[in-house]
């Protein structure tokens, strides 16, 4: 082991120049971090996990749903932190359409014993109605043509069409509401995908309940259902990105400097304080802004926390779309996106790219993790966060996350007591030294001598269903 670390640092030292060489040749160290080049040490000695932890603690006092006052408060806090490190921070505002879940969903069917548990479909409209239940198969146009659903409640089975297509087909024939039943065991967490003023009130029920209703109808029973959905709301909201820029300290006049982004998202889902998702990434982004502030670089570094990530990467999409093609985008060489980087209860650090391939970000981070920990951080394929917006614009981007995820993901238990300072320190070191390695004056290409980390498969998590 010792020998391997030494040879890594020696080769690193030889490619990294005198400062590194002095350190590495001075004495054979037993710990890789001690033999890291002095530029790494400049970063590492400044990182303070207590500061990261305190910022997470502050941010995770409440959920920070995009478009709410608590997001706005978080944004003001982030701006204030950037300013306290000496940055001029900007808040960028953008509008988006969002759906607020109903606070009441009720379904009762006369002539049917037992409670039926109904869930709303996301983007369903409110309503309070009752009507005869009629079966309309899979809810295709043809089936609805043959069924008299006008003023009635269409009972439709899941399958082949999207939920939205089924609801619109029923609405077109004058149905008053839709009950959609699952075609597999378990609850259905469905979405209509987007807002549409042609929708009628729509709920989902289990396969078991749906088949029981159908059986009664087939036996000739007349069923009348009452359906109530209250408190759902679709409307325009405002969210924010916070941006702080460290200009290159030394600039080649003939050529504009490269740009590196370090990013996280400050919003959370409803009901979740989001200590790990993603006050952790936001707070590591803040800390790296503080740490790198006075280190000399020939590369511009931009620190951004995005809003409305949880609504579909909206903040980063808005941000990247508004970058100018031939200036900002061409100059950008990397996006280090930090999302869920501090949970005690999650697995090890992985680096995920949208296409599953290595790029400058994974190379720089594998080189730095090898220098610091003796092993390259594994990489794999993964989307689901703001690096996707950068990758889609052709920018080398990657997500830093621990895998598998903690059980508290998107729950009220995503709280500060589950945060590990060691994990925060480790991620901040790997990302901070990777960025500085590239951005420091006379930066070298990533050290090609470290061995490529292993490719990992990341477990797929539950997502909302459209069909």
Which residues are at the interface with ligand BES (CB under 6 A)?
277-278, 309-310, 312-313, 339-340, 382, 384-385, 401, 405, 409, 461, 463
Q: Nearest residue to ligand BES, using CB?
A: 384
User: In the complex, what is the shortest distance from the CB of residue 195 to ligand BES, in angstroms, rounded to a whole number?
Assistant: 16
Integer Cα distance of 429 and 33 in angstroms: 10
Decide whether 272 or 292 has the Cβ nearer to ligand BES. 272
Sequence-distant (6+) residues with CB within 8 A of 435 are 260, 262, 288, 292, 301, 334, 336, 364
User: In the complex, what is the shortest distance from the CB of residue 239 to Zn ion, in angstroms, rounded to a whole number?
Assistant: 14
Decide whether 40 or 310 has the Cβ nearer to ligand BES. 310
User: In the complex, what is the shortest distance from the CB of residue 428 to ligand BES, in angstroms, rounded to a whole number?
Assistant: 18
Decide whether 191 or 385 has the Cβ nearer to ligand BES. 385
Give the residue, chosen from 40, 71, 258, 278, that forms a contact with Zn ion under the rule CB under 5 A: 278
**Is 277 an interacting residue with respect to Zn ion (CB under 5 A)?**
yes
463 binds, among Zn ion, ligand BES, none (CB under 5 to 8 A by kind): ligand BES
Integer Cα distance of 425 and 150 in angstroms: 62
Provide the β-strand partners of residue 81: none
Decide whether 248 or 401 has the Cβ nearer to Zn ion. 401
User: In the complex, what is the shortest distance from the CB of residue 315 to ligand BES, in angstroms, rounded to a whole number?
Assistant: 11
User: In the complex, what is the shortest distance from the CB of residue 340 to Zn ion, in angstroms, rounded to a whole number?
Assistant: 6
Decide whether 143 or 339 has the Cβ nearer to ligand BES. 339
**Contact pattern from residue 332 through residue 351 relative to Zn ion, giving x for each residue in contact according to CB under 5 A and a dash for the rest:** -------x------------
**Is 447 an interacting residue with respect to Zn ion (CB under 5 A)?**
no
406 binds, among Zn ion, ligand BES, none (CB under 5 to 8 A by kind): none
User: In the complex, what is the shortest distance from the CB of residue 461 to ligand BES, in angstroms, rounded to a whole number?
Assistant: 5
Decide whether 203 or 458 has the Cβ nearer to ligand BES. 458
Q: Do the bridges between strand 332-338 and strand 379-381 make them parallel or antiparallel, or are there none, so unpaired?
A: unpaired
**Is 437 an interacting residue with respect to Zn ion (CB under 5 A)?**
no
Decide whether 414 or 426 has the Cβ nearer to ligand BES. 414
461 binds, among Zn ion, ligand BES, none (CB under 5 to 8 A by kind): ligand BES
User: In the complex, what is the shortest distance from the CB of residue 340 to ligand BES, in angstroms, rounded to a whole number?
Assistant: 5
User: In the complex, what is the shortest distance from the CB of residue 338 to ligand BES, in angstroms, rounded to a whole number?
Assistant: 10
Residue-wise burial string across 111-143, b where 16 or more C-beta atoms lie within 10 A, e elsewhere? ebeeebebbbbbbbbebebbbebbbbbbbbeeb
Decide whether 182 or 385 has the Cβ nearer to ligand BES. 385
- Token digits of residue 389: 């917006």
User: In the complex, what is the shortest distance from the CB of residue 194 to ligand BES, in angstroms, rounded to a whole number?
Assistant: 14
Choose the stretch contacting Zn ion; rule: CB under 5 A; options: 37-45, 253-261, 275-283, 392-400.
275-283
**Is 267 an interacting residue with respect to Zn ion (CB under 5 A)?**
no
Which residue ranges make up the site for Zn ion (CB under 5 A)? 277-278, 339
């Amino acid at each position: 082991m010792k020998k391997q670390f030494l040879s890594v640092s020696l080769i690193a030292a030889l490619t990294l120049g005198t400062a590194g060489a002095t350190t590495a040749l001075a004495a054979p160290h037993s710990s890789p971090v001690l033999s890291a080049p002095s530029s790494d040490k400049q970063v590492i000695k400044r990182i303070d996990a207590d500061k990261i932890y305190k910022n997470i603690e502050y941010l995770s006092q409440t959920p920070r749903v995009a478009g709410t006052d608590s997001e706005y408060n978080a944004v003001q806090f982030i701006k204030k932190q950037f300013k306290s490190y000496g940055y001029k921070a900007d808040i960028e505002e953008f509008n988006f359409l969002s759906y607020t879940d109903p606070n009441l969903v009720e379904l009762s069917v006369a002539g049917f014993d037992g409670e039926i548990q109904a869930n709303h479909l996301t983007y369903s409209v409110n309503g309070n109605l009752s009507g005869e239940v009629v079966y309309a198969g899979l809810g295709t146009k043809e089936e609805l043509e043959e069924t008299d659903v006008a003023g009635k409640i269409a009972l439709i089975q899941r399958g082949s069409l999207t939920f939205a297509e089924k609801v619109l087909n029923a609405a077109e024939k004058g149905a008053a509401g839709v009950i959609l039943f699952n075609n597999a065991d378990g609850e259905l967490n469905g979405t209509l995908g987007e807002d549409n003023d042609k929708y009628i009130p729509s709920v989902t029920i289990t396969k078991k309940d749906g088949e029981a209703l159908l059986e009664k109808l087939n036996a000739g029973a007349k069923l009348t259902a009452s359906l109530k959905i209250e408190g759902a709301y679709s409307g325009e909201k405002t969210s924010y990105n916070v941006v702080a820029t460290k200009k290159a300290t030394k600039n080649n006049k003939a050529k504009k400097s490269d740009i590196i982004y370090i990013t996280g998202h400050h919003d959370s889902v409803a009901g979740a304080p989001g200590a790990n998702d993603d006050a952790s990434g936001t707070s590591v982004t803040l800390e790296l802004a503080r740490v790198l502030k006075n280190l000399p670089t020939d590369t511009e570094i931009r620190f951004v926390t995005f809003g409305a990530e949880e609504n579909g990467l909206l903040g980063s999409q808005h941000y990247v779309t508004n970058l100018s093609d031939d200036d900002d985008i061409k100059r950008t060489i990397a996006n280090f996106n930090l999302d869920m980087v501090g949970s005690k209860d999650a697995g090890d650090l992985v680096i995920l790219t949208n296409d599953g391939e290595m790029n400058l970000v994974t190379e720089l981070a594998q080189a730095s993790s090898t220098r610091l920990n003796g092993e390259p951080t594994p990489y794999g394929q993964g989307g689901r966060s703001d690096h996707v917006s950068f990758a889609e614009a052709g920018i080398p981007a990657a997500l830093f996350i621990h895998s598998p995820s903690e059980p508290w993901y998107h729950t009220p238990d995503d709280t500060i007591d589950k945060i590990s300072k060691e994990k925060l320190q480790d991620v901040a070191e790997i990302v901070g030294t990777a960025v500085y390695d590239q951005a420091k004056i006379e930066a070298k290409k990533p050290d090609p001598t470290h061995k490529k980390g292993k490719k990992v498969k990341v477990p797929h998590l539950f997502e909302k269903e459209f069909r």
